Amino acid sequence: MFAFMSRLRDNDIWVIARSIIATMNEPIPNLDAILHQVGKPARYTGGEWNAVVKDWDGTGIKIALCFPDSYEIGMSNMAVPILYDLLNRQADVLAERVFAPWTDMEALMRQNSIPLYSLETKHPLKEFDIIGFSLGYELGYTNVLNMLDLAGIPVFAAERDDNCSLIIAGGSCTLNPEPLADFIDLFVIGDGEEVTKELVDCFRVWQVEGKPGGKTQLLRRLAAISGIYVPSLYHVEYQPGGTIKSITPVDKEVSPVVTRRMVCELPPPVTTTVVPYVEVTHDRGAIEIQRGCSCGCRFCQAGMIYRPVRERSHDEVMQTIEKIINDCGYDEVSLVSLNTSDYSGIHQLVNRIAREYPNLAVSLPSLRLDASAIKLLSFLPTRSKTGLTFAPEAGSVRLRRVINKNVTEENLLETAATAFERGWTTLKLYFMVGLPTETTEDVSDIVRLVEKVFAIGREASRRIPRVRISVATFVPKPHTPFQWVAQEPEASLNAKQEILQKALLHRKNISFSWNDPRTSLLEGALSRGDRRIGRVIYNAWKLGSKFDAWTEHFKFENWQRAFVDAGLTPDFYARRERPLDEVLPWSHIDAGVTTAFLKQEYASAVKGDITEDCRYQACNVCGLQRWQAGCWEKAAGK
Ligand code: SF4
């Protein structure tokens, strides 16, 4: 039933929107007057099923959960519902959602002096005590500034006084928080569940005590909580050549290193997620079956910053499915994890789901590229048989060894054959170009592999298969074995893409997409940037940049100008090889995986040596062994 509601036309939405707004003594006048002028007005109405609306005046702590992109993207994010549920379960706390308004809505809001507001009670953002941003990709940074500005909040932390809300941020991008240090009061680094509670508890005490010492005192107290980074309490010194000399705390009370928070056990899953009115990117129920991955792919930041692996039990997953169906009405669920194939007993679980919910569509993202994946998928009801996606990442065996993607060509071809034989008609393959040590021969190997898959498809399915090829540009990320390497220059990237375009473009039943190297350059500079990048982000935003992750909105010329005006270059951050002893902008953030382990992995990459998955082999001593031992003791002590 509820799934039907998300298919309502704009006009129906408009009728509902008016009725919702009419019932609310909404603090945002004129909203009614503009909603019919924008696309998808339901992005801005709130009132969805399972939305939590609390008594504004009767609730002590007010928290806005902001996602710096559109409603459709934000509502598909896993972190927002977890924090929304966790915070709203506290009697004296209300948490409300705020997404970046699309450009048509923003223009009308600015014209009508309508400040950015929350969906639940339509309160202006600046009336919240705490404003939290979820940061999952760097190209959303200008939206953070734009949302603060649209809310009438000074974008620079240094320009905000004690009456201003506390601006915080979490998410994978905070493993290098420096590029946003000028704008964010504090960063939550790592798993958010436990530290968010500690943050709210600390805020509550400060509030009850009458806010002694203002925000300065509050930030000091919060900085004492493990996993919280307050950039204003650290001083960055630079070498004459522009690299970092040191990042030091302003005094002895402040810890020189901030350690990533990790939960030993995954908290109870969220089952009463807000059901959107408009179709969103991932329009289904989602269950995080495990967090972390230990495959050890050397380009993958998630594999390093979310380890170690923590699983939910089969029973917990089954109970969650039951609740999600009852509470949200979804007829499709996604079993979310970084590497679903490695979840313990995944075949038994999928079989059990198919048996107990024969009509439920199940999506299984991130399957390992081997025949076990096909066996898994064959348990699912036919309508779950949507396109199949695998990520060989590199065309040659040699390069896959460099990136520690332990997949053989036989694996890929056998899996493809099985898939086509079992009735799949479309196969999507992800590759990257610009990987360390990559040659044009390796790139040609991508074409050779695609040709083989296509031929197998024809053979196995006795009809013309569809093969979709997506080739991303490799962007080195902090806290990975490749954090020191230089990103490939545009000219050689273009030459490699030309090899692929020549062979794969305009081919019947083969679709080919690739990244614009300029977007990847920007992503590279923002992800490995230091604190000075803040000025670049500010300049680009002032020049009109926002929604940079959307091709139609990406304005590279703004960023070129922004770097020049800041006296910096993107190449310094993205295309410069770093010596292994250089002080990196994120060196004061301890992700748990040690620098020694990353250097060892980098050396293994250059030699083309594989590091086995510690899930099935011995521990690779990545640095988390002490922390893991602590969890086992905790579990044993229960
Ligand atoms: S400490 Fe060992 S077992 Fe744990 S994630 Fe690291 S390598 Fe794997």
Nearest-angstrom CA–CA distance, 418 and 525:
41
Among 259, 276, 297, the domain-final residue is: 259
Cα-to-centroid distance, 623 and ligand 1 (Å): 7
Does residue 619 have its Cβ closer than 6 Å to ligand 1?
A: yes
Strongest mean pLDDT among 189-203, 423-437, 504-518: 189-203
Is the distance from CB of 123 to CB of 117 less than 8 angstroms?
Answer: yes
With a cut of 50, say whether residue 62 has pLDDT above it: yes
Q: Which CATH number goes with the domain that contains 247?
A: 3.40.50.280
Instruction: State the pLDDT at residue 636.
Output: 81
580: domain CATH number? 3.30.750.200
- Does residue 307's CB lie within 6 angstroms of at least one atom of ligand 1? yes
Q: How far is the CA of 586 from the centre of ligand 1 (A)?
A: 22
For residue 235, give its domain range.
48-259
Per the CB < 8 A criterion, the answer to whether 312 and 286 are in contact is no
Q: What is the pTM of this model?
A: 0.94
Report the nearest atom of ligand 1 relative to the CA of 623: 1
In sequence order, what are the beta bridge partners of 472? Answer: 432
Which atom of ligand 1 sits closest to the CA of residue 307?
5
- How many whole angstroms from 262 Cα to the centroid of ligand 1? 14
Q: Ligand 1 pocket, 310 CB below 6 A?
A: no
- What is the number of domains present in the chain? 2
Which residues 6+ apart lie within 8 Å of 382 measured at CB? none
Q: What is the reported pLDDT for 30?
A: 74
Cβ neighbours, 10 Å, residue 626: 8
Lowest average pLDDT, out of 15-29, 31-45, 49-63, 323-337, goes to 15-29
**Domain check: are 426 and 575 in the same one?**
yes
273 assigned to some structural domain = no
* Distance from the alpha carbon of residue 344 to the mean position of ligand 1, in angstroms: 17
Compute the distance between CA of residue 603 and CA of residue 404 in angstroms, rounded to an integer.
12
Phi-psi region at 380: left, alpha or beta (left = phi > 0; alpha = psi -120 to 50)? beta
Cβ(536) – ligand 1 distance below 6 Å: no
Q: Which atom from ligand 1 is nearest to the alpha carbon of 593?
A: 6
Report d(CA 478, CA 584) in Å as an integer. Answer: 9
Query: What percent of the chain is predicted at pLDDT more than 70?
Result: 94
| Phi and psi torsions of 569, nearest 5° | -130, 145
Q: Is residue 337 part of a domain?
A: no
- Residue 251 and residue 391 in one domain: no
Shared domain check, 372 and 231: no
User: What 3-state DSSP class applies to 285?
Assistant: strand
- Ligand 1 centre to CA of 308 (Å) is 6
Residues 423 and 560 in one domain: yes
| CA of residue 272 to ligand 1 center, whole Å | 34
Q: How far apart are alpha carbons 109 and 34 in whole angstroms?
A: 8
Please indicate, yes or no, if residue 368 is contained in any of the structural domains. yes
Encoded tokens for 172: 């994978």
| Averaged pLDDT, 287-300 | 96
Nearest to 196 by CA among 70, 95, 302, 308: 95
Ligand 1 contacts CB of residue 308 (under 6 A): yes
- Cβ of 313 closer than 6 Å to ligand 1, yes or no, is no
> Taking a C-beta distance cutoff of 8 angstroms, is the pair 248, 256 a contact?
yes
Query: Is 625 touching ligand 1 by the criterion CB < 6 Å?
Result: yes
Asked whether the predicted pLDDT for residue 383 surpasses 60, the reply is no
Pocket residue to mutate for ligand 1, from 291, 307, 600, most atoms within 8 A of Cβ:
307
Residues 436 and 559 in one domain: yes
- Looking at the fold, whether 232 and 373 belong to one and the same domain comes out as no
Cα–ligand 1 centroid distance for 150 (angstroms): 44
User: Which residue reads 């375009």 in tokens?
Assistant: 501
What separation in Å is there between the alpha carbon of 484 and the centre of ligand 1? Answer: 22
Q: Is 286 within a domain? A: no
Question: How many CB atoms sit inside 10 A of residue 634's CB?
Answer: 11
Question: Which atom in ligand 1 lies closest to the alpha carbon of residue 614?
Answer: 8
Label residue 121 by pLDDT band (50, 70, 90).
very high
Q: State the pLDDT at residue 633.
A: 82
Residue 329 lies in a domain: no
| Residues sharing a CB contact under 8 Å with residue 599, sequence separation 6 or more, in sequence order | 481, 580
Q: What angle do CA 401, 403, 409 make, to 5 degrees?
A: 45
Q: What is the DSSP letter of 507?
A: B
- Final residue of a structural domain among 259, 283, 300: 259
Does residue 464 lie in a domain region?
A: yes
How many angstroms is it from 483 CA to the middle of ligand 1? 20
Contacts of 44 (CB under 8 A, 6+ apart): 17, 31, 35, 38, 71, 101, 105, 119
Residue 381, phi then psi, degrees to nearest 5: -60, 150
- The response to whether residue 614 sits with its C-beta less than 6 Å from ligand 1 reads yes
Question: Is residue 474 one of the residues assigned to a domain?
Answer: yes
For the chain, the average pLDDT equals: 92
Residue 485 phi, psi dihedral angles, 5° rounding: -80, 160
| 248: helix, strand or coil | strand
* Two structure tokens written together for 389: 């996606």
**Whose C-alpha lies nearest to ligand 1, atom 7?**
620
Q: How far is the CA of 345 from the centre of ligand 1 (A)?
A: 20
**What is the model's pLDDT at position 3?**
45
Residue 321 near residue 357 (C-beta atoms within 8 A)? yes
pLDDT tens-digit series, residues 217-244: 999 999 999 999 999 999 999 999 999 9
For 534-561, how does the pLDDT look when each residue is reduced to its tens digit (9 = 90+)? 999 999 999 999 999 999 999 999 999 9
Q: What's the half-sphere exposure (Cβ side, CA atoms, 13 Å) at 563?
A: 16
- Selection from 323, 264, 325, 316 nearest residue 289 by Cα: 316
Closest C-alpha residue for ligand 1 atom 3: 619
Q: Are residues 217 and 365 in the same domain?
A: no
**Diameter over CA atoms, the chain:** 75
Is-cis flag, bond preceding 179, omega within 30? no
- Closest by alpha carbon to 106, among 156, 64, 149? 149
Q: Phi and psi for 235 in degrees, rounded to 5?
A: -110, 135
